[in-house]
Amino acid sequence: MINNPKIAIITVINKSDRLNEFGLALSTVRCYAQRSQECSHFVLISPNIPENNVNNSLTKSNKCRQNDFMFRRHCVVVEWMSQHPEFEWILFIDGDMAVVNPNHSLFEYINGEQIIFYDRIFNYEIMAGSYLVKNTIYGRNFLNDWANYFYKLPKSFHGTDNGAIHGLFMEKFSSQEHRNKCQHLWEISKNYEDLMTFTVCVRHFIGKQMVNRTFDEGKVRVFPKAAGWARDGGHTGTKFSTKDFMFHGWKAS
């Protein structure tokens, strides 16, 4: 039985005018949090860092200096977690994720793990745009490792943090031999199709290490397709089922 700790739902954006683009989605999350006894919703803004200013005194005072926002946002979440120990769990969501069926609790998806992801329905990816993470050293270190993968990206069509989450899973949960096979595919990737080949390679090899959909003795879980708290909503338009909780892809543009 979980004791209903506080959950922070966090969205990170890189400029304030994106609040208009994501306004509808954010309003559904805010409404859900307001009626919930277990959640609060926060929108954090992390402005882009000009490449020629990465080493200036202003950015040196900021621990999150990845000049790719897709990585920096995970670092921002870690820093926020460190400053807010009163929240035991964090649900990170993309700005275009909306609550379509509020008759769900996030505790439906938590069962002793430290960090939780889910598989996207339409391809082989682990979803990079949303995760549940416990506010522990393990959870924060996992996110920091992901954020800092920015500095280890191959000079190829790498897929930013989406490609990197698969690289990180390989690094943590597979053998060096298997990692080398997939890493080569990542390094020669030139387009989305090549990136998917790398992704399939990763899923094949880490699947051999997965026990009951978990890794590292149950600390990391990846929910199978259509079993997580969210899915890409475009497949069914505005239609949703009682099992649905959140949709990804709601924005003005």
pTM: 0.91
Question: Which pLDDT does position 238 carry in this prediction?
Answer: 75
Q: Go through the domains of the chain in sequence order and give each one's CATH number.
A: 7-144+212-248 (3.90.550.10)
**Strand 7-13 relative to strand 97-99: parallel, antiparallel, unpaired?**
unpaired
**Strand 230-232 relative to strand 246-248: parallel, antiparallel, unpaired?**
parallel
Residues of the chain with pLDDT under 70: 1-5, 50-61, 252-253
Question: Helix, strand, or coil here: 98?
Answer: strand
Q: How far apart are CA 198 and CA 200, in angstroms?
A: 6
State both tokens at 47: 């402005």
Q: Which residues pair with 10 in a beta bridge?
A: 42, 92
Question: Which pLDDT does position 17 carry in this prediction?
Answer: 87
Q: Please write down the HEC assignment for all residues of 218-249.
A: CCEEEECCCCCCEEEHHHCCCCCCCCCCEEEC
**Taking phi first (over 0 means left), then psi (-120 to 50 degrees means alpha), and beta for anything else, what does residue 249 get?**
left
Burial of 137-173, coded b for 16+ CB within 10 Å and e otherwise, reads eebbebbbebbebbeebbebbbbebbbbbbbbbbeeb
